[in-house]
Structure 1
Amino acid sequence: MVAAHVIDDLSDRILAGYPLLVTRTYEERRWEQEFRRLAADFGWSCVSWSMTGGVVADSESSGSEAGAERVDPVAFLAQIQNDYPGQHLFLLKDFHLCFDDPYVIRKLRDLVPVLPGQQKTLILLGTVDTIPKEISKDVSIIDLPLPDEDDLHEILEAVLDDPKSGIATSIQQADRETLVRSVLGLTADEARKAWVKSLRGADGLTDELFASLISEKRKVVQGASLLEFVALDEGIDDVGGLDGLKEWIANRSEAFSTDAKNRHIGNPKGVLLAGVQGCGKSLTARAIARMLKFPLIRMDLGDLLESGRGVSEQNLRDVLSTAETIAPAVLWIEEIDKAFAGFVGNESQDPTVSRIVGRFLTWLQEHTHPVFVVATANRIESLPPELLRRGRFDDLFFVDLPTYEERLAIFRIHLQKRGWNPEQFDLDSHSNATEGYSGAEIETLVNSAIIDSYAEKRILSDEDLQDSIERTVPLSITMEDEIFQLREWARTRCRPATLDHRVIRVMEEEARRGETPAAEAEEVLKWKQLAEYGQIPAAIIEFLRHHERVTWDVLLNEFADYTEVSGRYGLVFRSDPKVVIWTRIGRELVDQLIDLIVRKRLYLHPCGEDLYQQASTPKLPAVAKFPDQRVQNAVWLPTELQLAPYIGGAGIYGRVARIKMGAPSS
């Protein structure tokens, strides 16, 4: 189901008499189905045309019969004006390829003033890049969106139900949401093929399976010189320590869920990781993407800001547009301090660069797409103060040299990755001996010890590790002053990425003390709590879970204490607006209900009029089922709300609209 606001916009333009719509999309088949459905909702006919296939009409169209002119674009444009009756949509596929023909342009200009009076609209469907100047003022350009989460859930259900897909794995609802998020940014066909490829023959859902799905998005960034698609080889378990940061990321990941979206919880913006070199900031960026199950794209901000590469604001717009297209995604800006070096506080700075920096900072604060930005920095004095302002990032973390426990974990990780059993080594001694060493330095010395033992045809020993430790001079010695200054700066500005273990113990005690109240709170009706906090859509869903099936009068009566349920608006079926669902509802509540129904969170079911015997129903004649033909006068179709779809006509019952009613009689 395409987003309601897109369908509404297209409907408004067509019914307002827009003669020529240019719709940009790679998904010709998907959108042709939507336009044909839209025409049926209007009671119009729909005709499609292509250079190779000629005309394909629905059963109610009555244009010319087969002939050579069906393929010729100029002749077909003439037929549109003369041979087809009013109330027609015409889908012209890849018609922009005909723009080189001056006769085509002239004929389009001739049609523009004629079509509105005939209730006809031309829809150019394809990957249109440029519009001829001659018709640029006569067209409306609409970028048709890729499938959203609701669309992809519907497609995934079809894939899982199709026996030809060969998918035998049982998939829980939470995993289905993750599968959907993994392919956002792909077309419907691309998503379908990616799921079948990854799930066919799979024994279960693993991190590797999700990483395989995410890799399908690689082609979206191909050709973007300032963006790089990064493989998700490392997971959060490959990061030793940083428990405070890990916990924070785990909490933020919940905000990307469908439930959080339904509760209008905003997407997390991102995190800035400042700290000592070699302490895992870049590794953490990769692990965050794996943890969120998002693709990771690295942005070369330094190259973008270098005037020698022909800096332009268009470059930045293209980069950010690509990131938003592939969303949900993690946008990784490595060593952002180097990118801004030389541009901060420089009065002779190129004004174009100043605008780019300003535009980028504005995007950081205002973007609404699920693009989680992870920026890393070593030298914080190079960062502009406005970058550190709250609102650009959700939080700033300081990544310090690893503690004893973290060094212990880092030794284990790197020995295991290289096939050695950590339990065979005295890691306690090695962790004590490496105080002041970074994670990168520990990795290097482990690798060096393994190479030395291999070269001498020996088994790796504690002595090899100790020798490698003694040969390594850590940054904490060579850059002691810089690290001290960095710590002092971060002390009052950043959260520590490593939790103090005393704090952990306090948190555990608080959690234990909170077990009983939490259990008692579950007994309270959840929908009432949500409604009291203004989370009306989520409360409606919970109310339905509690009652299974609800009539309109019951719903409005129960929610009267929490929101404005009465008003001058009604709900009708989009297929026939004279078939009324309910009346006298408040505007905000109507819009919330439409959103829930269109996004398939709630479902309408026809029901008997007897369920409303004690209710004040719409003062209209009642019908037992949806009319086969459009009605002349308004009627009321009794319905109830459920969380399960209606098998007998989900398409009609899932397409609803708002109407404004007259003032109530005194």
Structure 2
Amino acid sequence: MANIKECSQIVDNYLKARIPFISVRTCERSRVLDIFRKSSQEIGIPIYVHSISKGMRELIEDTQVSDDRSLPGALDFISENMPKKSNLTIILTEMPDIEDDTDTARQLMDLTLLATENGGSIVVIGNKPVWGQLQRLGMSLTLDNPDEEEILEIIKECIDPYRGSMEIQWDDTDVKKAATFLNGISKIETENIIVTLLAKGSILKEDINEVMSAKERIFSDISGLERIKVNNDILNVGGLAGLRQWLNVNSQLVTADLRGTGIKPPRGVLLVGVPGCGKSLSAKAIAVDWNLPLYRLDLSTIHGQYLGQSEGRLKEALATADHVAPCVLWIDEIEKGLAGATGGGDGGTSTRLVGQFLFWLQEATARVFIVATANDISKLPVELLRRGRFDELFFVDLPTREERREIISIYIKKGLKSEINEDLMNELVELSDGFSGADIESAVNDVAKKAYLDGFESITEDFFKKAFINVVPMTKTNPEKIEDIRNWGKERAVSASGAPIGGESPNNSSKNRGRTILM
């Protein structure tokens, strides 16, 4: 894998060394031809390029050298001219049927041997692998999609000529931000997005959002990933002050230009804890607050029935996440998708998936911020919990008294479009002791339904209280499980609320010491 600068240097070296066969893996033919065109001028060697649409032409002057546009005609041209001209270099842009041992691949191998005898080079550009015996006669390289630095130059080349002739509000900071958002797509896709903005006669500050939307449309049909649309107007998360504080500090690092600083952008957080307390909602809130697209990776759809199928699907999904970066990648109930890794009941598939996911988590450089959630901590692979996998491990506990007050207020405003008096609020806060956020939402929803059906005048304080009394929280139905979850979190995780895990005030220093956020 190489960026444009590395690829240019490698091509120069291959041509100077007269490597007889060079394969270039890419989907962007024009970028590769630009590289060879530059090398041809610097080294001083003629290069011919063949395509079905134009036939055989001289690369720099773009003059016709053969009228036969067919692929057999191109191979015949190589066979006739390779012995006559020294240092002949010919680029073939369309070469099907050379992945395996085929007649075309063998013919190309014979021509490569002819090139070896005469100091020639045959270059094949494509996005598929080459037959092994043929590839071993030469060298190969893969040209990556443009990195942020190259995309930055592409954007400048598109918009700088129009500064002064139309309104362009983007400064250097905006251009860098756009380059970060467009990282992972091709040069032609980048150019198409920018010239579309230019076509409307101006580029304004708010057009940064259109850049993000345009990139999302390119990857609208994504295998293994689901694009989640979040309604900004109704999304609100109560409590979780500790998690919010950490996110506020790290938000500017997600899209910042960190080259040369030695600082890595935040990779993600793992949210564990009591079910129904806002872990999944937090993933949506992060995407909204950071103004990033949200994608959900459903590990249950990754598993396939054939050997290696699950791993292939996960690899494809994670590679796609890299392409749509910067984004928030939400992995809900991660323990369910990787549960077999702790029990070994699936022939090792989950173990391999864990290994593949951890490798990507460690080595991938794209700005994908992962928000993984888990309810059943006993099923989490221990490798996932090692320090350094995620930036932080947060424990989402039952809401404290003040958090319950905030959550009740949020849901009442959302469902009833009103507020309640302070005395009633105090009673509801006490009645909701031991409730999760989902329990509070359920109680308020019952009130909102009655208000819709019977009118707001039917809602009395007694009805409010009964709605809360009727909810039986998990702390009553399964207190042992809640206690086990909390005991696990006290030693391993940071409290997402900022309050001690398992209670609003520490009972003793050993059980509630927990971990804290460094700020």
Structure 1 length as normaliser, TM-score?
0.65
Partner residue in 2 for 1:24 = 25
Kept after mapping to 2: 8 A contact 1:169/1:202? yes
* 1:484-523 to 2 correspondences below 5 Å: 484-500=483-499
Kept after mapping to 1: 8 A contact 2:271/2:393? yes
Partner residue in 2 for 1:550 = none
- Using the TM superposition, give the Cα deviation of residue 213 of structure 1 relative to its aligned residue in structure 2, in angstroms: 4.3
Partner residue in 1 for 2:397 = 400
Kept after mapping to 1: 8 A contact 2:304/2:310? no
- Using the TM superposition, give the Cα deviation of residue 349 of structure 1 relative to its aligned residue in structure 2, in angstroms: 5.3
Partner residue in 1 for 2:170 = 171
Partner residue in 1 for 2:268 = 270
C-alpha change, 1:59 and 1:189, in structure 2 (3 Å) is closer
Instruction: State how far apart, in whole Å, the 2-side matches of 1:388 and 1:360 are.
Output: 13
For 1:156, give the aligned amino acid. I
Partner residue in 1 for 2:508 = none
Identity of aligned pairs, percent? 30
Kept after mapping to 2: 8 A contact 1:2/1:147? yes
C-alpha change, 1:342 and 1:27, in structure 2 (3 Å) is closer
Q: Report whether the alignment pairs 1:121 with 2:121.
A: yes
Q: Match of 1:75, SS? A: helix
Instruction: State how far apart, in whole Å, the 2-side matches of 1:277 and 1:304 are.
Output: 24
* 1:227-266 to 2 correspondences below 5 Å: 227-234=225-232, 238-266=236-264
| Equivalent in 331, 354, 357 of residue 329 of structure 2 | 331
Q: In the TM superposition, what whole-angstrom CA distance separates every residue of 1:379-431 from its partner, at most 9, and x where no partner exists?
A: 11111222211122222100112234333443454455568255899756544
Partner residue in 1 for 2:77 = 76
Instruction: State how far apart, in whole Å, the 2-side matches of 1:100 and 1:306 are.
Output: 27
C-alpha change, 1:355 and 1:396, in structure 2 (3 Å) is same
Which has the bigger relative contact order, CA under 8 A and spacing at least 6?
2
Partner residue in 2 for 1:215 = 216
Kept after mapping to 1: 8 A contact 2:237/2:407? yes
Partner residue in 2 for 1:650 = none
For 1:186, give the aligned amino acid. I
Q: In the TM superposition, what whole-angstrom CA distance separates every residue of 1:559-585 from its partner, at most 9, and x where no partner exists?
A: xxxxxxxxxxxxxxxxxxxxxxxxxxx
- Using the TM superposition, give the Cα deviation of residue 460 of structure 1 relative to its aligned residue in structure 2, in angstroms: 8.7
Between the two proteins, the alignment pairs up a number of residues equal to 497
Q: Match of 2:276, SS? A: coil
Moved more, 89-98 or 24-33: 89-98
Kept after mapping to 2: 8 A contact 1:235/1:287? no
Structure 2 length as normaliser, TM-score?
0.81
Q: Match of 1:238, SS? A: coil
For 1:354, give the aligned amino acid. T
- In structure 1, stretches of 5+ residues that fail to align are 504-513, 515-666
- Using the TM superposition, give the Cα deviation of residue 494 of structure 1 relative to its aligned residue in structure 2, in angstroms: 0.3
Moved more, 184-193 or 428-437: 428-437
C-alpha change, 1:188 and 1:69, in structure 2 (3 Å) is closer
CA RMSD of aligned residues (A): 4.0
For 1:121, give the aligned amino acid. S
Instruction: State how far apart, in whole Å, the 2-side matches of 1:231 and 1:340 are.
Output: 26
Partner residue in 2 for 1:110 = 110
Kept after mapping to 2: 8 A contact 1:45/1:60? no
For 2:367, give the aligned amino acid. P
C-alpha change, 1:46 and 1:482, in structure 2 (3 Å) is same
* 1:271-310 to 2 correspondences below 5 Å: 271-304=269-302
* 1:96-495 to 2 correspondences below 5 Å: 96=96, 104-116=104-116, 118-127=118-127, 129-132=128-131, 135-161=134-160, 163=162, 168=167, 170-195=169-194, 204-205=205-206, 209=210, 212-213=213-214, 215-219=216-220, 222=222, 224=223, 226-234=224-232, 238-304=236-302, 311-346=309-344, 350-414=347-411, 420-422=417-419, 430-458=428-456, 463=461, 465-495=464-494
Kept after mapping to 2: 8 A contact 1:46/1:61? no
Kept after mapping to 1: 8 A contact 2:219/2:324? no
Partner residue in 2 for 1:15 = 16
Partner residue in 2 for 1:93 = 93
Q: Match of 1:261, SS? A: coil
- Using the TM superposition, give the Cα deviation of residue 496 of structure 1 relative to its aligned residue in structure 2, in angstroms: 0.8
Instruction: State how far apart, in whole Å, the 1-side matches of 2:430 and 2:206 are.
Output: 39
For 2:82, give the aligned amino acid. Q
Q: In the TM superposition, what whole-angstrom CA distance separates every residue of 1:476-509 from its partner, at most 9, and x where no partner exists?
A: 3323221122112111110011124999xxxxxx
Instruction: State how far apart, in whole Å, the 2-side matches of 1:285 and 1:308 are.
Output: 32
Kept after mapping to 2: 8 A contact 1:241/1:406? yes
Kept after mapping to 2: 8 A contact 1:450/1:460? no
Q: Match of 1:437, SS? A: coil
Q: Match of 2:258, SS? A: helix
